[in-house]
Amino acid sequence: MKIRSVSGHFRTLKLSEPYSIAYDSVDRCESVFINIVTDGGIQGWGCAAPDPKVTGETARNTLKAFDKELESYLLGKDVFEYARILDSIKSTNPGQPALRAMVDMALHDIIAQKTGVPLYKLLGGYRDSIPTSITIGIMSVKSTLVFAEDYVKKGFRNLKIKGGNDVLEDIEKINRVSEVLGTSVKIRFDANQGYSLNDAMTFLKGVRKANIELFEQPTQKNDLEMLKLITQKSELPVMADESLISLRDAFFISRDQCTDLINIKLMKTGGILEGMHVNSIAKAAGIGAMVGCMDESALGIAAGLHFALSRPNIRYADLDGHLDILDDPFSGMLKIREGELIPSGGNGLGWTALKRINI
């Protein structure tokens, strides 16, 4: 099954609700979409949603690399040789995981369509749906409560609250949300690298009675010794996110037991194939995984969902990056029922269930 044509498209997607985290404020995301067509007429779609502060890429540089190198490289390639294709892209474009992720996504999409099944079934089909958390950015305690109560009314039972700028305010937010919403709602707290060791210990002591499910990336991404120390001292499960970009990172973090959990994002790891390897390392070390996301189209979120549904070691999902995107070309690819993410039911990534794609 050879690749007959390839095209790339740049889009700026605005957010309906801008938000802040410890190191950034976000009101839009820039994405690249690719379409691959085989000689048998099967189409596959993929997308890249790079973050310069996380993956070191921009969408414009991603499209430039695609136009300059990948478009001509992919033509005539056999889709079923995807491991060889992706390894070659990794070799020629190091440090560009989102670029690799969008090609990986499109190739997996085609193969699952050819097989006649949704992608998660081709990958292993461990479960049919998974709850997702929904994110509340850094805002006042009062506003945090308003958003939290609104999301719960919409059926979400897992809230991800961002912090890292003011530990005492973070403690107040977590305790107030926990008091108001009770034990039926689980809280995930993400410091986004904002804490010192003292901050982390203060936070853990201050929220010990709250209903917190996990404590994500308290330290600077390169400070694995501090991450390990907090993990050892914490009664809450600690999760690494920004500290994990590559397969090599997964090896060192898992080998040294620096964390209890890892956050696998396809844009960071370079796609589903590499994500599978990262998850296997974590599983071998007895570390659980969550599949997370950037701000990205429902197409990218669908890829993360299919990956999350395929493996038992993936315990959590944080796949809400599409919910605030305006004019998403792939809007409607996912179903959400009472906070539970469900694939569209179509073969591959499921975009074939859409009536129209507005690229």
CA–CA gap between residue 130 and residue 108 (Å, rounded)? 21
Concerning whether 283 is annotated as a catalytic residue, the answer is no
325 contact partners, CB below 8 Å, separation of at least 6: 13, 14, 15, 16, 29, 295, 296, 297, 298, 331
Report yes or no: 131 and 341 within 8 Å, Cβ to Cβ.
yes
Set 77, 90, 160, 162: catalytic member: 162
Out of 114, 228, 265, 268, which one is annotated catalytic?
265
Q: Spell out a b/e string for 294-321, using b for 16 or more CB atoms within 10 Å of the CB, else e.
A: bbbbbbbbbbbbbbbbbbebbebbbbbb
Give the phi and the psi of residue 159 in degrees, each rounded to 5.
-110, 130
CA-to-CA distance for 259 and 166, rounded, in angstroms?
23
Would strands 43-48 and 24-38 be described as parallel, antiparallel, or unpaired? antiparallel
Which of 327, 321, 318, 315 has its CA nearest to residue 356?
A: 327
Q: What are phi and psi of 204, to 5 degrees?
A: -60, -40
| 265 catalytic per annotation | yes
Which three-class secondary structure state does DSSP give residue 258? coil
Q: Which residues are catalytic?
A: 162, 265
